[in-house]
Structure 1
């Protein structure tokens, strides 16, 4: 190549360098105007002489006149926050020894006396011997960035603390199912520390691969659908425990609404499921017990006043109702019994009682009344407040009728006895107890309050009648003879001689 060509190439190179320099200068001006760069420096390292521009001097609180004369490193460091000086000097020394790019963040004091954050970016140039000869660079005001980063770190710390404080398992996954965050419950479930599962999928961290595949399939379905779901999942812990988890999972979206992952929470509901199963078993037993009895079973919910009845309310009393109010029940109690029953049942409910029993007349659907025996038990909350009362109503009408008939018969017998010269007596052979009513004692001139026994009876017989009377009694007591005790005798024990006829039939048990 001739000299003309060489010269032309040199000119072209110079023009390119000038063009690039102008472009770099223009870029620097634009950066300075935009506020990204707030100052520049050039450090002649061997001479320890800093040449800085005016914005740099203002940022470091330096006298603008000094920047033209040059500054030493020590003067620059004096304006740095005391807590940041040691790390700054260490970073500079490391850059000088290594050469190349340099970046460091620290606080400097402005002319107004306030510290602000900057980031210094520079490049250390070495000579052929590896010694630093120049160190140019720029400073960037990062106060706003530091504020945003501080807010971000605070929010991240708040999120971390919040997630760790939540019960159960809390986690977030990316679109591929890799865990991005997990609380202490996640660590317990997986059996690994966060650093061992963050960035990994369930298939990579769970021992039960079948379980992991099912979880990931559910996650992918939810992310694909874009809809939240609540699912129950069987979980196997690393220590062999088995549990049932209730998981709520929702798609994680970015600012544009695109699904980029999944967030979820899982709670251990094993105990709750066991309690629910126990309750179902108890309810089934309760239902079977109600179906097996003819009693009218009622369940009074004290909070709302509703009473639930079993089918016996219809079969026994004709009321085809499954649920009524408590007032309906009171209205169907006989007016003469109503106030008493309301008082006795509320005395139990309102005064920490547990059981109630009473008898009253209850109106049937046809308007007639049945005699009932009613029993109830109060169920209370942990603080003792009455919650429910469950009871059974037994129809006593037939028993009451039988008792009335018996009482009527006894009254007729009493009247007949009083109208005749007949005295009744009863003897318990096993206990050797003789029972004479007052009228019978009166027939023998004995005071009603004087007790008598079989020995007294035999002692009071006429000697000539004792053998025949005792023989007749023995024959009646003999299970083989079963004779009728029918005998006449004379008594002499009570100051007078009387002639008496006695008749009885011995009562025996089935055995």
Structure 2
């Protein structure tokens, strides 16, 4: 660079006050340590460029010189994250080492004078010390000095990470919903059925209805009588035939459903997309017999999918192009090949609208490319008038159209389509299609051509806009002086709504996008705050946000609603920064995002409700089945007992009593299992020695397993103490052993192991409600038949069982699962078919190193003289039984139906040694009554009776000193023993 360009500005004018935070950082930075040298020695072009950079409303950076020295504004600083401010003044390849190759290529392109553009570019950045997947819109434009030599590269950086991630999540959700809905629709939408068939496989006789015959262009009478399958598939597209035949063969070979999508030739030679659905029926020996099915018309859907895929591919290939001719050439070629025509291209008009020049032309076949300039009058006034009004002109045969025959001779074509390309309501160019022979243009093809023209014109406009942006860099100082005009020009090109407001929120300047989005004109919006069009529910929050901005705070993400001119409301997400008495704001219209979120939430809620109803139906059905059986045994036995007593025949009375008692005990066991499954049983959680429990049950387990199953125990010597309910653990172990025995009908080996383990955060993260820490593990392993993955996945479901009807309730494993999870533990099943099964129970480690031993209650003893028990029970039958038992044992029994009736007894002076109360009393519950009772009678012993108690889920958090709990239903002797144990001092 010539020496005269080193310092054309005074040092104090190097940076304007509008630079903001980054301006201050740049002024304070020690530039003498960088290749740029001190500020006073910076080239004038660089100083002017930095001023533009700091004034830019968008996140921008400057990569200066061969090293790509980084300078940037406040917007870019926010995107840089943890890299800011360290990367200021560093070469880009040093400041961003994780994308060094990418930045090196950008710098080299800029020094060659090339522009680059990336849409949703995926990069892995280390902005905050860890790798982050990031998506960015990047636009790079060369910066030149006053001699036109490239000196660096502009970079406009807009982060799109959240949008890209949200779009991916939305597409996945939409795809799942579409697939599910499509399968349902195929089963219900009779209007889509276009044929049915039946294939007699042994006779190879394929018969179908008349609709099938029309679809496959076959003789209906022949198909009704039946033809070989090979004859029926002759109309299938050659590219699809092998795949369809393989699917048919697989259905015949393996059985099951058959589904295939393929093309079938029509009478006019075109191809139609259909979907065939059927299934192969077999006899008892597995031989394939019949193959019925239906045809569905999916032609419109497949063509729509093909059209959309073509348009997406077109957009993707046009996006990186920056030269107008390259854009139009590629679009013409892709469209011409898509439609199978002979020529396609782009022509543009001169300013006088009298001449047309064929700029690009693609051809294949009998027509050659079009080149040169032609007088517009050659094409006829009607054609030109139609194009000037924005209408697409269509010729199926120009020789038959008056006034178009000359055009046909000049172009060598018989059929044509011409789409006008408008700018500012003026005809600036056309996209044309020519075909050598007469050709029909179906509406779907015209629609596709117009869509391609629109997208191509948009890409061309973008390329022209970028070209204009590059040309604006020719005079850097002039750009600084005209920065307001330049900002407005950028705003007009952008679809994002930009806004500048004063500190009170009055709109000072706005981009045209606001009028597009809301319908209000610029005169209606400027000079006012937005309060008049804010949604009433958002008004206070919006005023508060404006107040915080006026105090110097930035808005990184704020959402509110503005009223459209038609009365509807639209959602906007805001970024705003206060600077020099003004608020610089960028909004994003997120209305459609909100609608998609609401629709997704509704869909998820419907799915959850469906799943809940399915689970409730399964549970109630199983309960009803088992309880009806149990009640039949109880009611029947009691009915026979009453008849025998009434007739005086007492010889079989004990038999009926035993039968009713057995059914009642089975009902109690079922309710306990249901409570365990629901995690609502009352657990007596205490320090427990698991090894001791296993050893105490060893003899019982041997008898349970029988002679053909060997039992082996491998118990860890220094096993930790577990925190669990010993009785429930014994029941769980017995259930697991019985299941293992049933899985080894021909004998085998059962192993019970114990061990200590620690579950870390990475393991428990996958299981809701499971805490990291120390656990005692018990493994029960068998060498039985094993389970398939499907059975393992449903093993803990209520009433799920693989046993024959009558041999299992399906509540065993679900009870174990509920008990262990309620204890704070975890259960896992590992199984392979033919190799056996292992079930692991993880129980939390208890702090104490010695398991507590429960006292073994002896036989019930009678009451001591004067001992008095207050019974509070809202169920009259239960209350009667308890009172009668107490009186038979010699206790003085007081009774009350609820807490209100019990209070006079507690407030009186009469003797009360023990309170027996139901937990679930109406009004004041049993636990609250016990608190009041102890206030009036300190140290009063309390026995709670419960069948279901939300608050008594774990006894350790429910019972105080001197309190015990008994679970309904309970045997009379157990109640008597518990009373005696509580009233007898240790």
User: How high is the TM-score relative to the length of structure 1?
Assistant: 0.29
Higher Rg of the two aligned structures: 1
More strand by share: 1
User: How high is the TM-score relative to the length of structure 2?
Assistant: 0.16
Q: Which has the higher contact order (CA 8 A, sep 6+)?
A: 1
